[in-house]
């Protein structure tokens, strides 16, 4: 039978430090922005309020990220389970604040570096290739408070020092890297990706676009350092991608969808992959009253150091219905649109669309002709374990099967796809709700929303299923 995926395809799973590690104040770690963001369903509305200013208020709020699933201490057990599933790679992030607790120190915290050294060694001992996100929603809190997050130009230098430290320390062992997680989430949730609050400009296009410019420069510097450190390194960008449809063949809706794709999906990758601002940037800035501070040398740096591949997350698509703003709405991964009558939605209203993934892969490859890496995908669901803690998560298997089929079809279309790391391969704290009960994992973690429980790990039905998928290189779904 014809192989559906290339030999060496990177099957694995993905997590982020702040959603799994816990131990938020151990071994010299400083506070990151997400350590000061309350958990619970109201998370998004609390952080979007004008009063919110990143102060810890343990009287009023809970902070589930402080404990996470204790991956900081249990990573050996977790990675052994990943190995049992046959993972070829494991995507995780380095908490900036374990290395530079406030972001501004001149010398790194050796205890933090030592921790990631052990994580990397454990992966390699199991034959698992580490894939590292340098920054996944974990900016040091001090930088957010002192410089207003990424809108402060000073942050570039602090990030450069952090990136250099980890790339130089681990760059001989670790070949795959990404700079910023979902960099374009700036348009939807700038507090997480840019450290901006409403007080410091979260709703202002000027602040967001300036912060993004600074991140682009920082990202190029990281690419430069990576290639200088080890020419074998492949370092990518990471964007949040949600395929956009115009609601109908009314050209107005098609044009609105096109504009949405440009300003929300492609803007960042166009710069990070193409090495320059795209043609539509100028009119976009003008329409929003944005005046960028671009320093001499910035544009040359962007041009000289584009990324090697495009990492992206894909959970859902969205539908743009410009001619009917009153249409029933659908909400999703930080962004939404109109309800699509052809699609079903997850428990959280994210519209499930495997064909949209095939479209995304074709759109991205058509535009950039660089290797693609799906570094997040999956179904957030409420799992109901039986008395043996077993979860028969056929709904998750269905979701993953449909999306892997769509990937195989895109590969058949001619797309160069490097790998697939489903999100939250082990249950973790949700980014948008800050709770455990929105689960993505193939491994069940016995913890509730307040992080009470044994924390023990249990294989779900999807664990055994995914193991078989990997063992047959995606043939047996």
Selected from 70, 129, 351, 376, the binder of ligand BGP by CB under 6 A is: 376
Binding string, residues 438-457; x marks residues near ligand BGP by CB under 6 A? x-------------------
Task: Name the minimum Å distance from CB 175 to ligand BGP.
Answer: 22
Selected from 39, 108, 380, 419, the binder of ligand BGP by CB under 6 A is: 380
Q: Which residue pairs, CB below 8 angstroms and at least 24 apart, start in 363-370? A: 363/243, 363/261, 364/241, 364/269, 364/310, 364/312, 365/410, 365/414, 365/415, 365/416, 367/266, 367/269, 368/269, 368/273, 368/274, 368/310, 370/273, 370/307, 370/308, 370/309, 370/310, 370/416
Please name which of 121, 116, 130 lies closest in space to residue 87, comparing C-alpha atoms: 130
Task: Name the minimum Å distance from CB 161 to ligand BGP.
Answer: 24
Does the footprint of ligand BGP cover residue 430 (CB under 6 A)? Answer: yes
Residue 125's Cα: distance from chain center in Å? 26
Residue placing its CB nearer to ligand BGP in the complex, 101 or 441: 441
Selected from 93, 151, 181, 377, the binder of ligand BGP by CB under 6 A is: 181
Residue placing its CB nearer to ligand BGP in the complex, 189 or 277: 189
Binding string, residues 97-136; x marks residues near ligand BGP by CB under 6 A? ----------------------------------------
Task: Name the minimum Å distance from CB 277 to ligand BGP.
Answer: 24
Stretch of 43-51, 393-401, 423-431, 446-454 lying at the interface with ligand BGP (CB under 6 A): 423-431
What is the DSSP track for 303-370? HH---SEEEEE-S--EEE-TT-TTSPEEE-SS-EEE--TT-EE-TT-PEE-HHHHHHHHHHHHHHH-S
Give the span between the Cα atoms of 245 and 64, in whole angstroms: 36
Does the footprint of ligand BGP cover residue 244 (CB under 6 A)? Answer: no
On the 0-12 / 13-18 / 19+ scale of CB atoms within 10 A, 102 is middle
Give the span between the Cα atoms of 374 and 372, in whole angstroms: 7
Does the footprint of ligand BGP cover residue 215 (CB under 6 A)? Answer: no
Residues assigned a catalytic role: 376
Contact 167, 177 (CB under 8 A): yes
Residue placing its CB nearer to ligand BGP in the complex, 48 or 117: 48
Binding string, residues 275-314; x marks residues near ligand BGP by CB under 6 A? --------------------------------------x-
Give the span between the Cα atoms of 269 and 237, in whole angstroms: 7
Q: Which residues bind ligand BGP (CB under 6 A)?
A: 16, 181-182, 240, 313, 333, 376, 380, 423, 430-432, 438
């Amino acid at each position: 039978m014809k192989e559906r995926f290339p030999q060496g395809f990177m099957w694995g799973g993905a997590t982020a430090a702040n959603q799994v590690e816990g131990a938020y104040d151990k071994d010299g770690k400083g506070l990151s922005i997400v350590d000061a963001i309350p958990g619970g369903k109201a998370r998004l509305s609390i952080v979007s309020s004008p009063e919110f200013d990143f102060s810890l208020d343990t009287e009023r709020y809970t902070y589930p990220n402080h404990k996470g699933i204790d991956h900081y201490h249990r990573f050996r057990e977790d990675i052994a389970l990943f190995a049992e599933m046959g993972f070829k790679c494991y995507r995780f992030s380095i908490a900036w604040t374990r290395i530079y607790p406030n972001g501004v120190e001149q010398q790194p915290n050796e205890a933090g570096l030592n921790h990631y050294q052990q994580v990397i060694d454990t992966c390699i001992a199991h034959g698992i290739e580490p894939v590292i996100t340098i920054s996944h929603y974990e900016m040091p809190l001090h930088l957010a408070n002192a410089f207003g997050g990424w809108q402060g130009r000073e942050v570039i230098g602090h990030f450069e020092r952090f990136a250099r430290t980890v790339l130089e320390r681990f760059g001989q062992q670790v070949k795959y890297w990404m700079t910023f997680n979902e960099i374009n989430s700036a348009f939807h949730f700038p507090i997480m990706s840019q450290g901006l609050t409403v007080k410091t400009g979260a709703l202002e296009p000027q602040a967001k676009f300036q912060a993004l410019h600074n991140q682009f420069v920082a990202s190029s510097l990281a690419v430069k350092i990576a290639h200088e450190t080890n020419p074998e390194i492949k370092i990518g960008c990471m964007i949040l991608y949600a395929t956009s449809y115009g609601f109908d063949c009314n050209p107005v809706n098609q044009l609105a969808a096109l504009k949405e794709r440009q300003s929300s999906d492609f803007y960042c990758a166009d710069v990070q992959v193409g090495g320059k601002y795209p043609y539509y940037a100028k009119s976009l800035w003008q329409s929003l009253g944005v005046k960028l501070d671009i320093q001499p040398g910035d544009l040359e740096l962007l041009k000289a150091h584009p990324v090697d591949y495009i990492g992206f997350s894909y959970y859902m698509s969205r539908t743009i219905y410009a001619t009917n703003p009153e249409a029933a709405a659908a909400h999703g991964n930080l962004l939404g649109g109109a309800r699509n009558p052809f699609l079903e939605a997850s428990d959280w209203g994210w519209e499930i669309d495997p064909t949209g993934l095939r479209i995304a892969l074709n759109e991205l490859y058509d535009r950039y002709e660089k290797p693609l890496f799906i570094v997040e995908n999956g179904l957030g669901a409420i799992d109901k374990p039986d008395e043996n803690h077993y979860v028969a998560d056929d709904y998750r298997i269905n979701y993953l099967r449909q999306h892997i089929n769509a990937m195989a079809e895109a590969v058949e279309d001619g797309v160069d796809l490097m790998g697939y790391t489903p999100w939250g391969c082990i249950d973790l704290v949700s980014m948008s709700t800050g709770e455990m009960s929105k689960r993505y994992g193939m491994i069940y973690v016995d913890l509730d929303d307040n992080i009470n429980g044994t924390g023990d790990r249990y294989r779900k039905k999807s664990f055994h299923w995914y193991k078989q998928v990997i063992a047959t290189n995606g043939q047996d779904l």
